[in-house]
Amino acid sequence: MVKKASFPRKRVFQKGAKVEVCSKEYGFIGSYYAAIVLEKLGDKYKVVYKNLVEEDESKPLVEIVTEDEVRPRPSPPPQEIVDLEFDVLDRVDVFDNKGWWVGTVTEKRGEDEYFVYFETTADHIAYPKRKLRFHRDWIDGQWLVYNKKKRVVCLDGKLVDCKKRVRAQVDQRVVDCYKRVRIDGNLVDCKDKLRVSIVPV
């Protein structure tokens, strides 16, 4: 069993903080873009993007985004993670179109090519390994990394493994079945339906 460290549930980002912004715009759901915080405005942030520019391409894009769209920019993973091979069904982020897109590995070809399926766009595209990273969720102040074989918690650059795979069962008793799921018999909140996939038992 993995013990969670104590962290504040809501993190306040200061001016200059390096973050990623999760897009909620149709056609871009499930994508993350590197940005820097310029200012905190109540429950929102003013950010400037690292790779996105204004329509006239004259300067970097600046936007006002909500708190729940912002998370810390992940630090480079430890070498032991970089060296891991991706497996079929692993959840990954792929760097494409100036951002990171969440998808699922469906096939490996050769030594360095992976096919990834993107649920939000129904695209199925091959990428070199250097374009992929294990998908991480920022939950309760810590990074969680999932793959098909085990649940790996990355905390301060360390790896902690669970002995069994986490299986979530959708709780049908709530109006929005994506809002709450059962993990190992415990009812937990799941605010992002993109993190829930219906799989055969």
| DSSP secondary structure of 53-116 | E-TTSSSEEEEEEEGGGEEEPPPPPPHHHHTSPP-TT-EEEEEETTEEEEEEEEEEETTTEEEE
* Contact (Cβ atoms closer than 8 angstroms) between residue 32 and residue 100: yes
Lowest average pLDDT, out of 12-16, 23-27, 186-190, goes to 186-190
What the block records as the tokens of 126 is 């091959």
Q: What is the mean pLDDT of residues 70-79?
A: 84
Look up tokens 């810590």; give the residue. 142
Question: Residue 168 has what pLDDT?
Answer: 40
Question: Residue 9 has what pLDDT?
Answer: 54
Question: Residue 128 has what pLDDT?
Answer: 95
Question: Residue 49 has what pLDDT?
Answer: 97
Question: Residue 56 has what pLDDT?
Answer: 87
Look up tokens 């400037």; give the residue. 48
Which segment, 68-72, 140-144, 185-189, is predicted with the most confidence on average?
68-72
Q: What is the mean pLDDT of residues 73-89?
A: 80
Tell which residue, 118, 122, 82, has the closest CA to residue 101.
Answer: 118
pTM of the model: 0.67
Report d(CA 50, CA 182) in Å as an integer.
37
Q: What is the mean pLDDT of residues 55-73?
A: 93
Rg of the chain on CA atoms, in Å: 18
What the block records as the tokens of 201 is 């038992």
DSSP state of 178: T
Lowest average pLDDT, out of 5-9, 90-94, 122-126, 128-132, goes to 5-9
* Contact (Cβ atoms closer than 8 angstroms) between residue 154 and residue 75: no
Q: Across the chain, which distance is largest between two alpha carbons, in Å?
A: 53
Query: Chain-wide mean pLDDT for the chain?
Result: 74
Q: How confident is the model at residue 153 (pLDDT cuts 50, 70, 90)?
A: very low
Per DSSP, the three-state class of 61 is strand
Contacts of 197 (CB under 8 A, 6+ apart): 104, 119
The single-letter code of the amino acid at 4 is: K
